[in-house]
Amino acid sequence: MVRIVAKGISKVFKRGRVVALDNVSVIIENGERFGILGPSGAGKTTFMRIVAGLDVPSSGELYFDDRLVASNGRLIVPPEDRKIGMVFQTWALYPNLTAFENIAFPLTNMRMSKDEIRRRVEEVAKILDIHHVLNHYPRELSGGQQQRVALARALVKDPSLLLLDEPFSNLDARMRDSARALVKEVQSRLGVTLLIVSHDPADIFAIADRVGVLVKGRLVQVGRPEEVYEKPVSVQVASLIGEINELEGKVTNEGVVVGSFKFPISVQSDKIVIGIRPEDVKLSRDVVRDDGWVLVGKGRVKVVGYQGGLFRITVSPLNSEEEIVTYSDHPMSAGDEVLVYVRKDKIKIFEV
């Protein structure tokens, strides 16, 4: 286990024309599962590479516990001395090596005796329940076993830190679920500090205790996943971490008005955007008597789709082109007039 401290890390490429990381400061605690969420090009891989020691920060400092490992363009501790295991996008195994040889691969450059290598490979193979297939070639393994071998290879050096860069993006949906569960289970068994970066919030929700949101090289919010989901600092963060409806509202004395909708909230600023997640909207033909839900007005159903056992419904105020998407288990038809309710305490207000 190790505690990672990044202090004001910036990274520029092309003589400063590309700023990949902009003054990133974060502490990843001992044994923590930390996720970095960000769109493509945000700087996630750059941060990973700096933590791994494959690249150096242009400015700022990186500590592993109290040890300075890189500082202002200087590599102080090289990757091989950082006790890191890595899994990248592909989970690719060497097809011409057995599972055993694949797992042992990181140890072969380490001047380690054959016995010691065998002991280590068998130990990690037991933990991952693949000790009975160590003589198999990758093509003789199931998808799940291949994942386990790739993970075993990352863990065989007994790392203090496990780095995962978009590890699930090339897996199909079912494999992705099992791989997420596997990573989480193995992490908690070994207690290793874990850093995962992904553009997919589902990866972060499945694994991380805390998440940092990276946008254009800046860490704009850090918190527990549900905190970031419920209280995003900006519309952009809100939409990165889950689907959200954005409505441009007119601020009045009685609330925020969007066409025929009126949101009964008071706001200070006069230029705002309302954010409301699909699950915090309810459409009904009849009046809903439930204190949690407030009526914002009448709307007209625009589009109805069917998705995963639910109807995905787009509704607009009667006299405006703004749209709200929500899900319902009742079918509705385009053109229907409905009452639109929202969960009052879930309305998000962003100043723009």
Query: Per the structure block, which two tokens stand in for 159?
Result: 């790392």
The Cα–Cα gap between 326 and 341 comes to 11
Q: Which one of ligand ADP, Mg ion, none is in contact with 42 (Cβ closer than 5 to 8 A by kind)?
A: ligand ADP
DSSP per-residue letters across 48-107: HHHHHTSS--SEEEEEETTEEEEETTEE-S-GGGS-EEEE-TT----TTS-HHHHHHGGG
Applying CB under 6 A, which residues contact ligand ADP? 13-14, 18, 20, 38, 40-46
Nearer to Mg ion, 24 or 128 (CB): 24
Q: Which one of Mg ion, ligand ADP, none is in contact with 43 (Cβ closer than 5 to 8 A by kind)?
A: ligand ADP
Smallest gap from residue 154 Cβ to ligand ADP (A) = 19
Q: Which one of ligand ADP, Mg ion, none is in contact with 14 (Cβ closer than 5 to 8 A by kind)?
A: ligand ADP
Nearer to ligand ADP, 217 or 255 (CB): 217
Q: Which one of ligand ADP, Mg ion, none is in contact with 145 (Cβ closer than 5 to 8 A by kind)?
A: none
Nearer to Mg ion, 215 or 274 (CB): 215
Please give the C-alpha separations between residue 320 and each of 185, 248, 276, 317, 350, in angstroms, as whole numbers.
Answer: 49, 11, 17, 5, 20
Q: Which one of ligand ADP, Mg ion, none is in contact with 38 (Cβ closer than 5 to 8 A by kind)?
A: ligand ADP
Nearer to ligand ADP, 86 or 301 (CB): 86
Smallest gap from residue 64 Cβ to Mg ion (A) = 22
Indicate the Cα dihedral angle 275, 281, 285, 288, nearest 10°: -110
The Cα–Cα gap between 207 and 187 comes to 10
Nearer to ligand ADP, 45 or 145 (CB): 45
Smallest gap from residue 43 Cβ to Mg ion (A) = 8
The Cα–Cα gap between 90 and 82 comes to 23
Smallest gap from residue 44 Cβ to Mg ion (A) = 5
Applying CB under 5 A, which residues contact Mg ion? 44-45
- Tokens 């599962």 -> residue: 33
Nearer to ligand ADP, 15 or 111 (CB): 15
Q: Return the DSSP state at 71.
A: E
* Contact status, residue 226 vs residue 194, Cβ threshold 8 Å: no
Nearer to ligand ADP, 98 or 198 (CB): 198
- Residue from 219, 221, 224 nearest 204 by CA: 224
Q: Which one of ligand ADP, Mg ion, none is in contact with 328 (Cβ closer than 5 to 8 A by kind)?
A: none
Q: Which one of Mg ion, ligand ADP, none is in contact with 106 (Cβ closer than 5 to 8 A by kind)?
A: none
| Partners of residue 249 on adjacent β-strands | 272
Residue type present at position 335: G
DSSP per-residue letters across 183-203: HHHHHHHHT-EEEEEES-HHH
Q: Return the DSSP state at 81.
A: G
Smallest gap from residue 38 Cβ to Mg ion (A) = 9
- Residue from 275, 284, 280, 270 nearest 322 by CA: 275
Question: What residue is closest to Mg ion based on CB?
Answer: 45
Smallest gap from residue 337 Cβ to ligand ADP (A) = 44
Smallest gap from residue 9 Cβ to ligand ADP (A) = 12
